[in-house]
A and B are shown apart, each in its own frame.
Chain A
């Protein structure tokens, strides 16, 4: 049995407390009014426009000279022109002020969204990783694969994070449908009411799917379904340890098959509901797969990192470097798979060049250029080159090194899925974002290692255990 040491517990709780404090300070740090935003924008603007007074001076001199020359002959005319000019100037100025007002209001909403969005990015990242570890485990069970059985308890422990993280997610989503936060713009008042000033024909056209009651019910169904499988599978897995027959083993096989059928539909649907609907005008038909690929590679990476950590502490004597090798192969393969889907989504939209589709990528290229393009080396080139060599896949340092870069890269991917639609150009990476990561990392560590301590580290009742223990490449 693994002991959940006080050191790890303290570490996890510290991360959560520090994270929670940072999240709160992120909420307190948002501007309280549009005026405050205007002032900030004004300060930023005047720093840019330091040469403006000089230009005004030149113009003034010119006007003076002009009026002097024509003073006598065109006195009345000049006066009239001056009046007219003054009026348009006034109107222009008025329009500029109007524009500044709407711009400030826009930025104000973006800044108000920022702590929510920062929280959502980290929440969704850790939720997705946990869910896909559960799904990966289910795939192993449904395929009755032999190699991975010694890793089952590690995967089960990681999926112990599913319950806490999905509870937080559900609360977060319900806060959205209760209009506490406004990340989902399609939920706003009047978007489907033709008489409203806020009416949006495109959202109205999608309202048969994208409506608050349906969305809420679906969210609850997904979350309950996944947690139900995790509960049943874990129960049967522990019961199998001491069982003399294979009843629980077969039960687990059936649960896994049923879960995978449920999961592959709900995974796509949750990616439309919770991510793609942030941009309600835009859609991509391979979005569900793309989200799946992001979390699949992250999930395998997390399994590898936790396994290598436990192995280095001597808790997993039955795991050999061929198991690590297989996990690294999955990291390598799913990195390519992610790139394939990421690029497919981009290339089809780039090629067709239809305005309603390209806006999605135009915004990412204009406002998120660095993180958007950084994903190519982080999620593709680096893991490919590090893990392409067969021998390197068995060296823990290489697996950890590639894994950390892959996880950061896929955090950026989730960031780029969520931020442009919610925070837009007002994004940055600061205390709200970092604290949210720390909070969910702490939760992840706590949930994983506490559920690891609740069962033996070897699922010894599995009939194919011998195959896994003697597995070699």
Chain B
């Protein structure tokens, strides 16, 4: 079986959105769309599953909160209790107000950083990886829609021409 794909290029995000809707309406599966910037509503138009990153963010936040509680307790109560302004240092709970800023900061820190790392891993981006986008113009001012061809090259080309593509290429993928 051939790995032929069709690449349709657009130069406007509104035209792209309409094209995606038309292609979906004609019951073709869109493999990928490469854009120079996030296009609002594109994920819904492509029929992608809703992101679960918010849930991971919540869990990472809880992790950070737990870590902050453990850390402040270990540092300030167990390992090296210090008298700071006469505040109680024999119990974590009665000294809790002093630790709230730390708990808040570490919650945000864990949620933010781990969420970014998760996003990169899920998007298959890591250091020294060669770029996946098939056309360098998608990093500048063009939008590229990739559709796999299953013996329907003619039909797809006509359809994509109708949607206002500025360029259509058929490419053999390795």
Chain A interface residues toward B at CB < 8 A: 343, 346-347, 350-351, 353, 388-390
Contact = CB atoms under 8 A, between A and B. Distances in A.
Given A347-B100, A350-B97, A388 B58 contact: yes
Interface of B: 54, 58, 85-87, 97-98, 100-101
Given A347-B100, A351-B87, A389-B54, 14 more contacts: A343-B97, A343-B100, A346-B97, A347-B97, A347-B98, A347-B101, A350-B97, A351-B85, A351-B97, A351-B98, A353-B85, A353-B86, A388-B58, A390-B54
A263 to B, nearest CB: 29
A203 to B, nearest CB: 30
Contacts of A353: 85-86
B92 to A, nearest CB: 15
Contacts of A350: 97
Main secondary structure of the interface of A (DSSP, over half): helix
A351 B87 CA distance: 8
A379 B28 CA distance: 49
A102 B9 CA distance: 88
A351 B85 CA distance: 8
Nearest to B51: A390
A310 to B, nearest CB: 28
A346 B97 CA distance: 9
Contacts of B85: 351, 353
A321 to B, nearest CB: 15
Those 8 A-B pairs whose CB atoms lie nearest each other, nearest first: A347-B97, A350-B97, A390-B54, A343-B100, A351-B85, A347-B100, A388-B58, A351-B98
A65 to B, nearest CB: 48
A372 to B, nearest CB: 14
A351 B95 CA distance: 10
A351 to B, nearest CB: 7
13 contacts: A346-B97, A347-B97, A347-B98, A347-B100, A347-B101, A350-B97, A351-B85, A351-B87, A351-B97, A353-B85, A353-B86, A388-B58, A389-B54
Contacts of A347: 97-98, 100-101
Nearest to B84: A351
B37 to A, nearest CB: 19
Nearest to A390: B54
A343 B54 CA distance: 26
A343 B103 CA distance: 13
A137 B151 CA distance: 58
Nearest to A347: B97
Contacts of B97: 343, 346-347, 350-351
A158 to B, nearest CB: 32
Contacts of A346: 97
A353 B58 CA distance: 35
Contacts of B101: 347
